[in-house]
Structure 1
Amino acid sequence: KGDIRDPAAVRAAITHFGDPVDHVVHLAAAHHDFGIDHDTYYDVNENGAKVITEAMDEAGTAEITFYSTVAIYGHAPEPVTEDSPKDFFNPYGGSKWAGEQVFMAWTDKGVNDAGKQRRCLTIRPTVTFGPNNFANMYSLIRQIHSGRYAQFGKATNIKSLSYVENIVDATLYLWEYEGRANYDPYNWIDKPDLTSAQIALTIMESLGKNGKPLTFPLWLGLLAGIPFDIVIKLTGKNLPISTARIKKLFTAQTKYEADKVLATGYTPKVPLKEGIDRMVKWYLEQGKDEQAVWHIPPAKVAGA
């Protein structure tokens, strides 16, 4: 364990097994909506990338896979592809894009001192879900399972999703793909896309629940969220209900394209609805009795 802003910790990780590793897989990030300030996002996601590249150069390691995010696109107009404008609207998206630029500049330096070409495969997933993941999909499954879920409005907004097993499988495939550039970004989205309403119905089916969710007008949900907004503003607490969360779930469309990775010949192994079903089964068998452990990065590296 360590902090990617700590050069000694990163160097130790790269040489943990004696000889330097051949390939670094970079998943560490400042990510959560609450509890992280603007500068910490950039310190972890941008400066951490610089620390990693410097440690890799010292060790002679020339290959890295970096998991970025579709949040770098922000409000970019559809269809959102790898070449779309980077119109991020929060420090998470902005800092991940800054991290990507670090890796772009690093690969542009060409061959390292060990005579190896620097290469970076970048994966940009959307909302990621699967067994052992306690983020957005877990919360939705828990709400529906407990009977505390209600739909506000028609919920016809598309929510692109990324199933974790397919992300890993696509990554392994791209490692061997001969047409990959030295710096090569790929969106990962499981297709076909589902609307918020379809996602909820798919979860209900996997849970064995019949019928449709209780549905109310959107305006009623937004009105009910106002008291929670006030509490959030006054206390800074991360509450599960707010007008922003209601809009995000039932009206905001987050639709992205994955044509580039599919054009390489890759075919995902797990269909999207099967992925949802696998997560629901994990939830029923194990996940509902577990508690998430969140790791919020400190503003400064310990001992710095």
Structure 2
Amino acid sequence: MDKRKVAIIGGSGFIGTRLAKRLSARGDLTLKIVDIRESRQFAQCYQYGDVTQPESLRQALVGYDVVINLAAEHQDNVEPVSRYYQVNVEGARHLCMVASELAIKQIIFTSSVAVYGFVDQETGEEGHFDPFNHYGKSKLEAEYVYEAWRNTGSGNKLTIIRPTVVFGEENRGNVYNLFNQIASGRFVMVGNGNNMKSMAYVENIAARLEYALDQQADYQVSNYVDKPDFTMNQLIGVISASLGRENKTIRIPYLLGMCGAAVFDLASKLSRRKFPISRVRIQKFCARTQFKSNVQHNFVAPVDLNLAIEKTVKYEFDPR
């Protein structure tokens, strides 16, 4: 039986590297990493490819059967905002066009729970779409592009996975910043801390993507969340306990936090510098972001969430 040929677009990144590690250990497939940055760990599998440059995708994907697309513009405060749509939406169009040209029949796409926006209850796949920022809006538009590809090609298989915020060792996103502030003793809680937060550990989302690859479902859309959910207060307690430290959180009201963030936004606009504090980040921090999946499958996450937090905290901040 011929080996399946699987390409990971964005495979040099945080999630992509974990997924590549899992897939490279298998003997039943051939792996390629397609990215604008060379893979540090899997240079032998790497080929340059940029979703904004369709010809580079054509060259990289010739002969491949499955594409897992992790490439995205996702950071807060990206300027110009058109960059979200250039990478996330136009990139999706380019990939679908190239997939049709090369007779690639299976695409797995990582979207985001950001397509739902702020939620007032635990939200599954049936949730109302109401993205509040350009990242969420562009991810939702990209989903529509992939849906159109699925519907126009005979035998096309599509899996869309919407992860909640992903964390883990060697990530430098918003969760790392939170962990770092708590570890440094400089953490300031904005709001009452009772808002629920869903999280996903990088090894678990990589395993979920591998599971989707093996399922080969004709069509599936699902959220990805590691349970249980924590309030911000509970999460800070778990992180503090992992560090063996007493929780000494400083607290300020939400309105005061937003006013302070507005000052940083103004300073950023005037100086053209990016600061770690912004109104968008305060909104996201204080919002309820609690999600679930109602999709039935047999996937079991390999790492317990409490253990995942402990592993990440100790790896990053415990010198012992």
Q: Same fold (TM over 0.5)?
A: yes
1:137 equivalent in alignment to 2:175:
yes
Distance change >3 Å, CA 235–CA 270, structure 1 → 2: same
Task: Considering fraction of residues, name the structure with more strand.
Answer: 2
CA contact (8 A) 1:192 1:272 kept: yes
Partner of 2:224: 188
Report the CA distance between 1:39 and its aligned residue: 2.5
- Structure 1: unaligned runs, 5 residues or longer: 112-116, 287-304
Give the Cα separation in 2 of the matches to 1:72 and 1:225.
Answer: 24
Helix, strand or coil for the counterpart of 2:127?
A: coil
Distance change >3 Å, CA 53–CA 244, structure 1 → 2: closer
Partner of 1:37: 80
Distance change >3 Å, CA 223–CA 5, structure 1 → 2: closer
1:200 equivalent in alignment to 2:236:
yes
Partner of 1:301: none
Matching residue within 245, 264, 283 for 2:316: 283
Opposite residue 293 of structure 2, the aligned amino acid is A
Report the CA distance between 1:241 and its aligned residue: 2.5
1:257 equivalent in alignment to 2:292:
yes
1:49 equivalent in alignment to 2:84:
no
Give the Cα separation in 2 of the matches to 1:144 and 1:75.
Answer: 25
The number of residues matched between the two structures is 272
Superposition RMSD in Å: 2.2
Partner of 2:303: 270
Q: Please show how residues 1-304 of structure 1 align to structure 2 within 5 Å.
A: 1-15=48-62, 20-75=63-118, 78-111=121-154, 117-177=155-215, 180=217, 182-222=218-258, 224-249=260-285, 251-260=286-295, 263-284=296-317
Segments of 4+ moved more than 6 angstroms: none
Helix, strand or coil for the counterpart of 2:227?
A: coil
Helix, strand or coil for the counterpart of 1:193?
A: strand
Helix, strand or coil for the counterpart of 2:200?
A: strand
CA contact (8 A) 1:201 1:212 kept: no
Opposite residue 201 of structure 1, the aligned amino acid is G
Report the CA distance between 1:218 and its aligned residue: 4.3
Q: Which has the higher contact order (CA 8 A, sep 6+)?
A: 1
CA contact (8 A) 1:161 1:193 kept: yes
TM-score, normalised with respect to structure 1: 0.82
Give the Cα separation in 1 of the matches to 2:284 and 2:151.
Answer: 38
Opposite residue 266 of structure 1, the aligned amino acid is F
CA deviations over 1:275-303 (Å, ceiling 9, x no partner): 111111221369xxxxxxxxxxxxxxxxx
CA contact (8 A) 2:160 2:221 kept: yes
Give the Cα separation in 1 of the matches to 2:140 and 2:261.
Answer: 32
CA contact (8 A) 2:118 2:288 kept: no
